[in-house]
């Protein structure tokens, strides 16, 4: 039986450390504050927002919710992004995407200050992840994968990592973050040939394909650590991941459950980015 890498344990441990930091900041007159900018009311966004509100409260981060109507104009959206950018009381901004189709996503992202971009959506944040500099923050889910491995003391340095997925949200940033931790990283995608064979070579397999149950027993071997990033509502109405858990779990050494794995850590990483942004602002 594989060891279950439970996100709640990681979130709890991180929250304790973060809470101490927010207390310290507050003693010095700084209240870490996250602004959540949401257009419309997509169910995905609402679910993420609920998780973020709960976690920020536990950590001691204030949250300002800015909700714009589904048919908001580009002009009003940009005004709101600029207002949050210049507001010194706001240390970080989470802007939900995709935006409704009539809005210019590139312009909206470009208007956000990378120093306040908590989920790695600006070009500046992506450059920081690529270059390994401190100019921005990585996407929270990608950073959550690394936090999980570190919490469970799973060695990364020198290990063979295979990532399935090359999106800007997960696949690419998690690959770069693990490369920065000195892993040897292979990135796979929908045109990769011999995918199961490549997966079996991994010490750590990160599955972020967005395809329910695509990874099964054929792609794993004993001794591996599997991080399942996928989230889907299965045919039975229950949440499931990108792996066929019942097939993979008996074979590998450790695996994240879905739900209760990577996704559970994501909002804590968001809160940690806000605390870091507040600390940086306070140290100026």
Tell me if the bond preceding 98 is cis, omega within 30° of 0: yes
- 260 lines the binding site for ligand NAP (CB under 6 A): no
- 211 lines the binding site for ligand NAP (CB under 6 A): yes
Least distance between ligand NAP and beta carbon 197 (Å): 13
Q: Choose among 140, 84, 134, 133: nearest CA to 113.
A: 84
Tell me which stretch binds ligand NAP (CB under 6 A): 58-66, 68-76, 79-87, 207-215.
Answer: 207-215
Q: Is 120 left (phi over 0), alpha (psi -120 to 50) or beta?
A: left
Least distance between ligand NAP and beta carbon 169 (Å): 4
Q: Rounded to whole angstroms, how far apart are CA atoms 112 and 110?
A: 5
Helices and strands per DSSP (H, E), number in the chain = 10, 11
Looking at beta carbons only, is 75 or 106 nearer to ligand NAP?
A: 106
Contact between residue 223 and residue 202 where contact means Cβ atoms under 8 Å apart: no
- 238 lines the binding site for ligand NAP (CB under 6 A): no
- 42 lines the binding site for ligand NAP (CB under 6 A): no
Work out which of 190, 197, 238, 250 binds ligand NAP, going by CB under 6 A: 190
- 177 lines the binding site for ligand NAP (CB under 6 A): no
- 173 lines the binding site for ligand NAP (CB under 6 A): no
Work out which of 80, 122, 125, 141 binds ligand NAP, going by CB under 6 A: 141
Strands 204-207 and 160-164: parallel
Q: Choose among 241, 225, 222: nearest CA to 233.
A: 241
Q: Is 266 helix (H, G, I), strand (E, B) or coil?
A: helix
Q: How many residues bind ligand NAP (CB under 6 A)?
A: 25
Site for ligand NAP, rule CB under 6 A: 141, 164-167, 169-171, 188-192, 195, 208-211, 214, 229-231, 262-263, 266
């Amino acid at each position: 039986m594989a060891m279950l890498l439970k996100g709640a344990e990681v979130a709890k441990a991180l929250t304790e450390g973060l809470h101490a930091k927010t207390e310290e900041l507050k003693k010095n007159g700084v209240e870490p504050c996250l602004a959540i900018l949401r257009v419309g009311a997509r169910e995905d966004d609402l679910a993420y927002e609920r998780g973020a509100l709960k976690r920020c409260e536990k950590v001691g981060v204030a949250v300002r919710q800015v909700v714009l109507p589904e048919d908001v104009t580009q002009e009003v959206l940009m005004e709101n992004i600029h207002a949050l950018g210049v507001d010194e009381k706001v240390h970080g901004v989470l802007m939900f995407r995709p935006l409704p189709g009539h809005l210019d996503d590139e312009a909206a992202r470009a208007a956000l200050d990378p120093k306040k971009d908590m989920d790695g959506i600006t070009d500046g944040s992506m450059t920081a992840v690529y270059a390994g500099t401190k100019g921005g923050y990585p996407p929270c889910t990608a950073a959550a994968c690394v936090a999980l491995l570190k919490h469970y003391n799973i060695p990364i340095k020198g290990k063979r990592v295979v990532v399935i997925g090359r999106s800007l949200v997960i696949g690419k940033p998690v690959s770069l973050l693990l490369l920065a931790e000195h892993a040897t990283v292979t990135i796979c995608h929908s045109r990769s040939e011999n995918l199961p064979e490549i997966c079996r070579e991994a010490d750590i397999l990160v599955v972020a394909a967005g395809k329910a149950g695509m990874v099964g027993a054929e792609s794993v071997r004993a001794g591996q650590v599997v991080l399942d990033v996928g989230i889907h509502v299965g045919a039975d109405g229950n949440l499931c991941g990108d792996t066929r858990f019942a097939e993979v779990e008996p074979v590998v050494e450790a695996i994240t459950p879905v739900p209760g794995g990577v996704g559970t850590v994501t909002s804590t990483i968001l809160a940690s980015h806000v605390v870091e942004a507040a600390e940086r602002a306070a140290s100026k």
